[in-house]
């Protein structure tokens, strides 16, 4: 099939996928895990266990805190030691459940065997219910609850399901390894989601720098009986894996500002999410583990790993297991070098969305001293949303120019980092545009609230 | 954590691009043209450019240090680029003090008084050249006989081809050998001898992604089309497209001066409009104005429209 890519902007950072040839290893269990209640985009989950309770792996620990929310399950068997405040990797306060690990006993009904189950449930509601009950969230980074995305409110209807295997962030290889090692499970997961959505065509989107993954997925599709599942090769370009960019690349449609992908008939799910959906529906196994890449530019290849970890394991435990934090590391990042989050607190526990432990050395990660803008336009050329970061930066710094910021679409910024990456003058474009976006979003929300209040007042009058 | 680590927003790494590397690429791109002027004009061409570069860099250093009291910006090499371009726009061997005055206007007036790199409204090198052209018209249009390492058979001192047209009419250049003019066009500023050398540098810049080709192509196309129309109407009065492309500063200006980041529009279609403006104005000056050559004036005039063009032309936004 023709290789496709998105039409606006984009950059080509060095691939740096050093851990690509490292098979997935199973991380040993620590003595304690800390399960965060803030594991998805949406309301924090509400604990339903008490201190002193014995729990089994896969047992429900917490319920969704709202419509956009997810169940949280115990990743281990053991005793609930404490439920209280903790800190996430950025140092923000969260509620977490501390569990002492005792053995590795799983809740009844969970199928841990490696056999592939290819027969799909007949009822789409069964699929949705099982995905919800298993606490599956998007593992591509945004951790949006998967069952919500798979059940769009009518009249919206999915015309295409895009399985995102582009893994466009440099360094990261967890999706890649899973596509090589468990391709059939990913395809069954895709078929399940396809069925839940009412049978749209499904594209498994992979960048052409991963020919082995393309081959592996194609083989799995050929060996399975599902219809309308295709591999869509993509030209390597960052941020291909961005939801909006992927829809543009594959479907040649652009999601309107402020709208959801489903408004263009698209549903995007990550390849690893597809695997989690498979385990949830076919194996009754809740989302209690994920795959993490331990990588960096200051780590010898033999010390790089891809590992299957239980959610709640402290980051520091994983770092120790992999041989400790390298001497030259100046910045530790959870996620890729473009969009990941800098880790302030290595004692924080992993969450569902944790995908990497990335060590970058001083010389790569240090920001250049800021110089004056030379108006070279590299930031505008790189922006995949077609924004003009230099202009947004200037307007933000001038202060009080929110109207112009909105007109120039600061709120559309996806924070992919292309502008700051490209700037030859080292201007902190994204830092400032992010602030501008917050200001504009505030105004947009206030306006919507005011309009709603006015409409209600008018209604009450009548 | 025993050791402390950097915590800051994404992205966590950066492209190797820097202002200094961009300017270095421009300097590399100018090398072929500098080499050609050395071959034809000898050491006097190099001396002209050396004086120009030295005065530009020194002036910027002195202004940042003593007037602005800020850390020096000469490390970004933009003053070197301005210096080379100014030198290339002067007759080889012009008096050193005229060059220094040109540098003072270019760096002191056009660049630093607007706030330094990235803030100037007018292209510094052209501002310097135009100031000198108006102030010292005699010296600025006295073209020396080449006495370099390559002796050209048609070497002459005095008027340029465009000057000849202004005085004697279009027919006086009717039998011009265009291929020869493309390779070697003696008479004129130090840097504009060889169209080939200039174009080679420009192609290098395009390949390196330093400049986009639209502005330059738009200028070339406009000059060619306007000249073709007038030449077809009255070949005796108006010179043709090829003649106008190859003479004067059209190639030097279109490749290296009009493409200056700061003084040209940001969006691609804005650049096309800007290029059209330059091409049109230069042809009007050549056909109807009192100056034989108009590239510098055309670029300066269009520099002024850049803020307006930037307001009208924006990038194509996603989903809008």
The model's pLDDT over A354-391, given as tens digits with 9 standing for 90+, comes to: 999 999 999 999 988 899 999 999 999 999 999 999 99
- As a whole number of angstroms, the distance between CA A54 and CA A59 comes to 10
CA-based nearest residue in chain B for residue A362: B6
Pull the structure tokens for residue B173.
């250049």
A 349-368 near B (Cβ less than 8 A): 358, 360, 364-368
Q: Which residues from chain B sit within 8 angstroms of residue A256, using beta carbons?
A: 319-320
Q: How far is B74 from chain A (nearest CA, A)?
A: 12
CA-based nearest residue in chain A for residue B21: A424
Cα angle for residues A55, A59, A62 (degrees, 5° grid): 95
Is B320 in Cβ contact with A409 (below 8 Å)? yes
Give the single-character DSSP code of A357.
Answer: E
How many CB pairs below 8 A link A and B?
Answer: 152
Cα angle for residues B76, B50, B127 (degrees, 5° grid): 70
Q: How far is B20 from chain A (nearest CA, A)?
A: 8
CA dihedral for B38, B44, B48, B54, sign (positive or negative): positive
pLDDT of residue B135: 94
Is A371 in Cβ contact with B76 (below 8 Å)? yes
Which one of A361, A376, A429 would you mutate to disrupt binding with B, by most B Cβ within 10 Å of its Cβ?
Answer: A376
Query: Which residue in A390, A409, A422 is closest to B15 by CB distance?
Result: A422
Pull the structure tokens for residue B9.
């927003």
Burial letters A61-93, b for 16+ CB under 10 A, else e = bbebbeeebbbbbbbbbbebeebeebbbbeeee
Q: Which residues from chain B sit within 8 angstroms of residue A367, using beta carbons?
A: 8, 14
Beta bridge partners of B174: none
Residue B13 contacts A, CB cutoff 8 Å: yes
Query: Which residue in A332, A424, A434 is closest to B17 by CB distance?
Result: A424
Is B315 in Cβ contact with A412 (below 8 Å)? no
Beta bridge partners of A163: A204, A269
- As a whole number of angstroms, the distance between CA B167 and CA B159 comes to 9
pLDDT of residue B1: 47
Pull the structure tokens for residue B232.
């077809």
Contact between residue A261 and residue A177 where contact means Cβ atoms under 8 Å apart = no
CA-based nearest residue in chain A for residue B261: A376
Alpha-carbon Rg for chain A, nearest whole angstrom, is 22
Q: How far is B226 from chain A (nearest CA, A)?
A: 30
Residue reference for tokens 């390894």: A177
pLDDT of residue A447: 92
Q: Which residues from chain A sit within 8 angstroms of residue B117, using beta carbons?
A: 371-372, 374
Alpha-carbon Rg for chain B, nearest whole angstrom, is 21
In percent, how much of chain B has pLDDT > 90?
66
Q: Which residues contact A393 (CB under 8 A, 6 or more apart)?
A: A373, A427, A429, A432, A433, A436
Pull the structure tokens for residue B42.
């000898």
Is B6 in Cβ contact with A330 (below 8 Å)? yes
Which one of B10, B16, B73, B120 would you mutate to disrupt binding with A, by most A Cβ within 10 Å of its Cβ?
Answer: B10
- As a whole number of angstroms, the distance between CA A180 and CA A214 comes to 9
- As a whole number of angstroms, the distance between CA A149 and CA A276 comes to 15
Task: Determine which of A109-123, B255-269, B281-295 has the lowest per-residue pLDDT on average.
Answer: B281-295
Pull the structure tokens for residue B201.
């540098």
For residue A59, the tally of other CB atoms under 10 A from its CB is 20
Closest CA to A123 of A38, A195, A203, A20: A195
- As a whole number of angstroms, the distance between CA B139 and CA B175 comes to 29
Kindly tell me the burial class for residue A122, based on how many C-beta atoms sit within 10 Å of its own C-beta (0-12, 13-18, 19 or more). Answer: exposed
Element at A228 (helix H, strand E) = none
Residue A125 contacts B, CB cutoff 8 Å: no
- As a whole number of angstroms, the distance between CA A325 and CA A298 comes to 10
Which one of B2, B12, B263, B311 would you mutate to disrupt binding with A, by most A Cβ within 10 Å of its Cβ?
Answer: B12
Kindly tell me the burial class for residue B137, based on how many C-beta atoms sit within 10 Å of its own C-beta (0-12, 13-18, 19 or more). Answer: exposed
- As a whole number of angstroms, the distance between CA B154 and CA A333 comes to 67
Is B19 in Cβ contact with A412 (below 8 Å)? no
Quickly count helices (H) and strands (E) in chain A. 14, 17
pLDDT band at B4 (very low <50, low <70, confident <90, very high): confident
- As a whole number of angstroms, the distance between CA A291 and CA A26 comes to 9
pLDDT surpasses 90 at B290: no
Mean local confidence (pLDDT), B47-69 = 94
Name the maximum alpha-carbon separation found in chain A. Answer: 73
3-state secondary structure of A386: coil
3-state secondary structure of B311: helix
**CA torsion A25→A28→A34→A35, rounded to 10°?**
50
Element at A97 (helix H, strand E) = strand A93-101
Is A259 in Cβ contact with B320 (below 8 Å)? no
Residue B71 contacts A, CB cutoff 8 Å: no
Question: Average pLDDT by consecutive 10-residue portion of chain A (462 residues)?
Answer: 90 94 95 94 91 95 91 96 93 94 94 94 94 94 90 90 95 96 96 95 96 96 95 95 95 94 95 96 96 94 94 95 92 95 93 94 91 93 96 94 93 95 95 95 93 89 74
Residue A435 contacts B, CB cutoff 8 Å: no
Mean local confidence (pLDDT), B205-226 = 96
- As a whole number of angstroms, the distance between CA B44 and CA A299 comes to 55
Element at A229 (helix H, strand E) = strand A229-234
Beta bridge partners of A371: none
Is B3 in Cβ contact with A325 (below 8 Å)? yes
Residue B158 contacts A, CB cutoff 8 Å: no
CA-based nearest residue in chain A for residue B116: A372
More confident residue, B278 or B247: B278
- As a whole number of angstroms, the distance between CA A83 and CA A94 comes to 11
Residue B75 contacts A, CB cutoff 8 Å: no
Q: Which residues from chain A sit within 8 angstroms of residue B266, using beta carbons?
A: 375, 377, 380, 388, 390
Q: Which residues from chain B sit within 8 angstroms of residue A380, using beta carbons?
A: 266-267, 315
Q: Which residues contact A459 (CB under 8 A, 6 or more apart)?
A: none
**Strand order, beta sheet including A32-36:** A32-36, A93-101, A78-87, A54-55
Cis peptide before B309 (omega within 30 of 0): no
In sequence order, which ranges of A112-209 are alpha helices (DSSP H)?
124-133, 146-149, 174-181, 183-196
For residue A211, the tally of other CB atoms under 10 A from its CB is 11
pLDDT of residue A66: 87
pLDDT band at B158 (very low <50, low <70, confident <90, very high): low
Contact between residue A36 and residue A88 where contact means Cβ atoms under 8 Å apart = yes
Cα angle for residues B26, B32, B37 (degrees, 5° grid): 115
Q: Where on the phi/psi map is residue A268: left (φ > 0), alpha (ψ -120 to 50), or beta?
A: beta
More confident residue, A438 or B158: A438
Residue B18 contacts A, CB cutoff 8 Å: yes
- As a whole number of angstroms, the distance between CA B256 and CA B247 comes to 16
Contact between residue B247 and residue B198 where contact means Cβ atoms under 8 Å apart = no
């Amino acid at each position: 099939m023709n290789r496709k890519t998105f039409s606006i902007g984009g950059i080509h950072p060095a691939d740096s996928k050093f851990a690509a040839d490292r098979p997935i290893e199973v991380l040993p269990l620590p003595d304690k895990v800390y399960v965060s209640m803030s594991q998805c985009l949406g309301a924090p989950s509400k604990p339903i266990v008490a201190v002193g309770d014995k729990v089994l792996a896969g047992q429900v620990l917490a319920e969704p805190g709202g419509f956009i929310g997810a169940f949280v399950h115990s990743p281990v068997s053991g005793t609930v030691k404490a439920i209280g405040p903790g800190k996430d990797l950025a140092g923000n306060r969260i509620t977490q459940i501390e569990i002492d690990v005792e053995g590795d006993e799983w809740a009844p009904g969970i199928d841990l065997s490696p056999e592939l189950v290819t027969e799909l449930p007949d009822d789409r509601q069964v699929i949705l219910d099982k995905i919800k009950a298993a606490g599956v969230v998007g593992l591509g980074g945004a951790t949006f609850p998967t069952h919500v995305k798979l059940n769009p409110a009518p009249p919206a209807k999915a015309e295409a399901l895009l399985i995102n295997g582009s893994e466009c962030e440099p360094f990261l290889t967890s999706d890649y390894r899973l596509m090589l090692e468990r391709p059939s499970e990913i395809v069954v997961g895709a078929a399940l989601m396809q069925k839940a959505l009412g049978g749209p065509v499904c594209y498994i989107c992979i960048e052409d720098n991963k020919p082995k993954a393309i081959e592996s997925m194609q083989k799995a599709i050929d060996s399975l009986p599902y219809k309308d599942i295709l591999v869509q090769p993509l030209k390597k370009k960052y941020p291909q894996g961005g939801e909006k960019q992927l829809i543009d690349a594959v479907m040649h449609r652009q999601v309107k500002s402020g709208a959801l992908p489903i408004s263009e008939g698209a549903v995007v799910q990550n390849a690893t999410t597809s695997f989690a959906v498979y385990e949830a529906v076919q194996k009754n196994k809740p989302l209690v583990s994920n795959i993490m890449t331990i990588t960096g530019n200051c780590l010898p290849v033999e010390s790089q790993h891809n590992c299957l970890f239980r959610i709640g394991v402290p980051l520091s435990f994983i770092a120790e297991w992999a041989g400790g934090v390298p001497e030259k590391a100046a910045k530790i990042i959870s996620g890729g070098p473009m969009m990941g989050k800098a880790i302030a607190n290595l004692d924080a526990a992993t969450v569902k969305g944790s995908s990497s432990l990335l060590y970058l050395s001083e010389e790569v990660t240090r920001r250049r001293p800021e110089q004056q803008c030379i108006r070279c336009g590299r930031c505008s050329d790189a922006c995949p949303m077609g924004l003009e970061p230099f202009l947004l930066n200037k307007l933000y710094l001038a202060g009080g120019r929110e109207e112009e910021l909105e007109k120039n679409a600061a709120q559309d910024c996806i924070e992919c980092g292309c502008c700051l990456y490209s700037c030859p003058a080292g201007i902190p474009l994204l830092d400032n545009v992010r602030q501008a976006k917050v200001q504009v979003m505030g105004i947009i929300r206030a306006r919507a609230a005011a309009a709603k209040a006015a409409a209600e007042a008018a209604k009450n009058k009548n | 954590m025993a050791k402390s680590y950097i915590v800051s927003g994404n992205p966590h790494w950066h492209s190797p691009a820097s202002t200094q590397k961009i300017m270095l690429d421009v300097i590399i791109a100018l090398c072929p043209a500098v080499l050609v002027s050395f071959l034809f004009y000898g050491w006097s061409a190099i001396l002209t450019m050396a004086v120009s570069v030295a005065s530009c860099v020194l002036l910027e250093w002195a202004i940042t240090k003593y007037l602005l009291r800020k850390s020096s910006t000469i490390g970004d090499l933009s003053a070197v680029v301005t210096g080379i371009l100014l030198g290339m726009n002067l007759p080889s061997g012009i008096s050193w003090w005229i060059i220094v005055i040109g540098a003072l206007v270019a760096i002191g007036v056009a660049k630093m008084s607007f706030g330094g790199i990235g803030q100037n409204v007018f292209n510094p090198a052209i501002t310097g050249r135009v100031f000198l052209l108006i102030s010292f018209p005699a010296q600025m249009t006295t073209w020396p006989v080449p006495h370099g390492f390559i002796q050209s058979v048609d070497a002459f001192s005095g008027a340029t081809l465009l000057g000849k047209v202004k005085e004697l009419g279009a027919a006086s250049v009717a039998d011009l050998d265009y291929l020869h003019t493309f390779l070697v066009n003696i008479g004129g500023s130090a840097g504009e001898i060889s169209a080939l050398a200039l174009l080679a540098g420009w192609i290098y810049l395009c390949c390196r992604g330093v400049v986009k080709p639209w502005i330059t192509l738009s200028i070339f196309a406009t000059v060619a089309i306007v000249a073709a129309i007038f030449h077809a109407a009255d070949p005796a009065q108006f010179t043709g497209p090829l003649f106008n492309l190859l003479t004067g500063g059209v190639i030097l200006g279109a490749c290296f001066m009009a493409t200056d980041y700061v003084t040209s529009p940001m969006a691609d279609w804005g650049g096309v409009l800007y290029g059209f403006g330059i091409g049109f104005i230069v042809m009007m000056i050549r056909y109807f104005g009192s100056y034989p050559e108009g590239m510098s004036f055309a670029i300066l005039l269009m520099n002024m429209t850049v803020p307006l063009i930037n307001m009208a032309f924006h990038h194509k936004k996603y989903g809008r």
